[in-house]
Structure 1
Amino acid sequence: MSNPSDVPQPREPGAQPPAGNVPPAGYEPPQRFPRPQGQQPAPDRQGHQKPAGFPFQRPADAPRSFNEVMPRGGLAGMFTVAGLPLELKVSYWIWLVGGMLGVLGSFFGLLATLALFTVAPGLAALLLLLVLVALALAAAQIVLALKMKDGKEWARLALTIVAAVSLVLALIGGSVGGGIGNNWLGFLISAAATVLMWLPNSQAWFTAVRGRA
Structure 2
Amino acid sequence: MSTPNEYPGPEQSGSQPPVGGSGSQPENAPQNPNPGYQAPPPGYQQPGYQAPPPGYQQQPYQQQAPYQQQPQKPAGDTSFQMPADWPKDMKGVMPANGFAGLFSTGQLPQLLKVSYIIWLVTAGIWLLFTVLGLIFSLIALGAQDNSLFGITIPGSGAAMRAGGVKGIIVSIIALVLIAAVLVCIMKLKEGMQWARMALSVIAVLSIVLAFLGGGSGLLGIVATVLMWLPESSAWLNARARGIA
* TM-score (structure 2 length as normaliser): 0.53
Give SS of 1:77's match: coil
Distance 2:111 2:85 in 1: 27
Distance 2:85 2:171 in 1: 34
Q: Is the 8 A contact 1:71 1:146 kept in 2?
A: yes
Q: Is the 8 A contact 2:184 2:198 kept in 1?
A: yes
Moved beyond 4 Å, runs of 4+: none
Indicate the residue corresponding to 1:62 in structure 2.
87
Structure 1 residues 145-172: Cα deviation after superposition (integer angstroms, max 9, x where no partner): 111111111110000000110111123x
Change (3 A) 1:182 1:100: closer
Correspondence 1:150-165 to 2 at 5 A? 150-165=190-205
Structure 1 residues 155-209: Cα deviation after superposition (integer angstroms, max 9, x where no partner): 10000000110111123x2xxxxxxx274xx220000000000000000000110
Correspondence 1:127-142 to 2 at 5 A? 127-142=167-182
Structure (1 or 2) with the larger CA radius of gyration: 2
Q: Does 1:121 align with 2:145?
A: no
State the Cα distance separating 1:95 from its structure 2 match: 1.4
Distance 2:214 2:86 in 1: 36
Q: Is the 8 A contact 2:85 2:192 kept in 1?
A: no
Indicate the residue corresponding to 1:205 in structure 2.
235
Aligned residues: 144
Structure 2: gaps of 5 or more residues: 1-83, 147-159
Change (3 A) 1:61 1:126: closer
Report the residue type matching 1:116 in the other structure: A
State the Cα distance separating 1:105 from its structure 2 match: 3.2
Structure 1: gaps of 5 or more residues: 1-58, 174-180
| Structure having greater relative contact order (Cα 8 Å, sep ≥ 6) | 2
Indicate the residue corresponding to 2:221 in structure 1.
191
Aligned-pair identity in percent equals 38
State the Cα distance separating 1:143 from its structure 2 match: 0.7
